[in-house]
């Protein structure tokens, strides 16, 4: 069973003091992470392409590690958005914008919506941007039958982890109208991302041919998108997660109690850029991903949080509604039994 958090911290200032010394980026580690991520990604992509001459099964097998390197590249973009990867914000923005073309994620748009996620994570009055849509039992019961059907469809695993990533990364991220008109920088980032992506795809088709390009890139993008959505889901959608009303909401509690420590096998933790140490990331998003393990190892109090193993995380898929009375996420079946 998951190991649960032992309670909220006593003061925000104490935690700021704990994590402050880890916020400084280390340039050599950042550069090395780019090399050991982008390099293997390119080599594996080429191996998939040449593998087409032997067997498409070989190409599909190679798509698995290739997708994980793409996820790892997204984590670098993620850190850039928080201003955490390099000391220079200009360098962070430039690198994040370039990576955003490869990850199908407009950088400035994603940076802002993700910042809103951090600012209101676990706040019942501030749900919306950057979250997995989550209703309370009372809100779900108040819906029409059609509203309930739509929510159940949305929360189905096939929608969240198969249909959802395609919709989000391939279609939704291409539309400037998904953000308010006042978000000019974010709208421009979507347009620029679309133009750069069109140029890149055109160049790849001219070099490798449209059929070979699709046979290689489609499985990589689909798998990487599903893995990315899964990681985001399981790090907030677990039974004793944190949701609170605005007047009682706490940023630190939302980080330490509303974000899990996803204890992955060492190779998967490396491949996903330590993002499983999500409670530390939410406690201080300015800590680079390559320093999260250091923070965890040196601060025993940060090891006493909700911990999920790979197997335990699979059971979180059934959870769909927040029970405001019992302070936990429950399944549709549990909510029906309560009624």
Residues 6 or more apart from 276 whose CB is under 8 A from it? Answer: 231, 235, 260, 261, 262, 263, 264, 269
pLDDT confidence of residue 109: 95
* 2 occurs within a structural domain: no
Band of pLDDT at residue 338, cut at 50, 70 and 90: confident
Band of pLDDT at residue 5, cut at 50, 70 and 90: very low
Structure tokens at 36: 């050991």
* 3 occurs within a structural domain: no
Structure tokens at 3: 């190991």
Q: Give how many domains the chain has, as a whole number.
A: 1
Integer Cα distance of 143 and 164 in angstroms:
22
* 113 occurs within a structural domain: yes
pLDDT at residue 8 is higher than 60: no
Helix, strand or coil for residue 132? coil
CB atoms within 10 A of CB 14: 11
Structure tokens at 301: 């109090």
**Mean of the per-residue pLDDT values of the chain:** 92
Core vs surface per residue 75-112: b (16+ CB within 10 A) or e: bbbbbbbbbbbbeeeeebbebbbebbbbbbbbbbbbbb
* 210 occurs within a structural domain: yes
pLDDT at residue 336 is higher than 80: yes
pLDDT confidence of residue 87: 94
pLDDT at residue 114 is higher than 70: yes
Integer Cα distance of 290 and 152 in angstroms:
37
Band of pLDDT at residue 17, cut at 50, 70 and 90: confident
pLDDT at residue 10 is higher than 60: no
Integer Cα distance of 97 and 28 in angstroms:
21
Helix, strand or coil for residue 15? helix
Over the stretch 199-238, which tens digit does the pLDDT of each residue have? 999 999 999 999 999 999 999 999 999 999 999 999 999 9
* 82 occurs within a structural domain: yes
**Axis-axis angle for helices 27-51, 56-81 (nearest 10):** 160
Helix, strand or coil for residue 10? coil
Phi, psi of 284 (to 5 degrees): -155, 100
pLDDT confidence of residue 231: 95
Band of pLDDT at residue 337, cut at 50, 70 and 90: confident
* 4 occurs within a structural domain: no
- In this structure, the strands spanning 261-263 and 135-136 are unpaired
* 7 occurs within a structural domain: no
* 6 occurs within a structural domain: no
Phi, psi of 127 (to 5 degrees): -80, 150
pLDDT confidence of residue 316: 94
Over the stretch 281-321, which tens digit does the pLDDT of each residue have? 999 999 999 999 999 999 998 998 999 999 999 999 999 99
pLDDT confidence of residue 14: 78
Residues 6 or more apart from 31 whose CB is under 8 A from it? Answer: none
pLDDT at residue 9 is higher than 90: no
Band of pLDDT at residue 279, cut at 50, 70 and 90: very high
Which domain range does residue 138 map to?
12-338
DSSP 339: -
In this structure, are residues 271 and 73 in contact, taking their beta carbons and an 8 Å threshold?
Answer: no
Over the stretch 53-97, which tens digit does the pLDDT of each residue have? 999 999 999 999 999 999 999 999 999 999 999 999 999 999 999
pLDDT confidence of residue 7: 45
Integer Cα distance of 255 and 235 in angstroms:
11
């Amino acid at each position: 069973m998951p190991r649960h958090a032992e309670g909220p911290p006593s003061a925000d200032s104490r935690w700021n003091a704990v994590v402050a010394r880890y916020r400084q980026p280390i340039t050599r580690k950042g550069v090395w992470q780019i090399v050991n991520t982008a390099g293997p990604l390119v080599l594996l992509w080429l191996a998939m392409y040449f593998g087409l001459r032997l067997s498409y099964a070989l190409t599909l097998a190679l798509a698995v590690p290739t997708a994980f390197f793409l996820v790892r590249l997204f984590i670098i973009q993620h850190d850039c958005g928080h201003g955490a990867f390099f000391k220079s914000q200009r360098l962070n923005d430039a690198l994040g914008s370039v990576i955003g073309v490869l990850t199908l994620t407009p950088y400035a748009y994603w940076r802002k919506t993700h910042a809103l996620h951090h600012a209101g994570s676990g706040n019942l009055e501030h749900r919306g941007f950057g979250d997995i849509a989550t209703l309370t039992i009372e809100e779900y019961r108040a819906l029409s039958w059609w509203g309930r059907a739509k929510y159940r469809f949305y929360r189905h695993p096939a929608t969240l982890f198969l249909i959802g990533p395609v919709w989000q990364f391939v279609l939704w991220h291409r539309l400037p109208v998904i953000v308010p008109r006042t978000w000019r920088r974010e709208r421009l980032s979507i347009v620029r991302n679309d133009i750069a992506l069109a140029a890149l795809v055109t160049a790849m088709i001219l070099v490798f041919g449209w059929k070979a390009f699709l046979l290689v890139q489609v499985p990589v993008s689909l798998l990487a998108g599903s893995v990315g959505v899964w990681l985001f889901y399981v790090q907030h959608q677990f039974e004793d997660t944190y949701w609170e009303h605005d007047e009682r909401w706490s940023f630190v509690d939302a980080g330490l109690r509303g974000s899990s420590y996803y204890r992955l096998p060492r190779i998967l933790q490396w491949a996903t850029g330590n993002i499983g140490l999500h409670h530390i990331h939410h406690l201080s998003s300015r800590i680079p991903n390559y320093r999260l393990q250091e923070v965890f190892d040196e601060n025993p109090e940060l090891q006493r949080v909700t911990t999920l193993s790979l197997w335990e995380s699979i059971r979180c898929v059934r959870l769909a509604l927040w029970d405001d009375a019992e302070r936990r996420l429950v399944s549709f079946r549990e909510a029906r039994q309560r009624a």
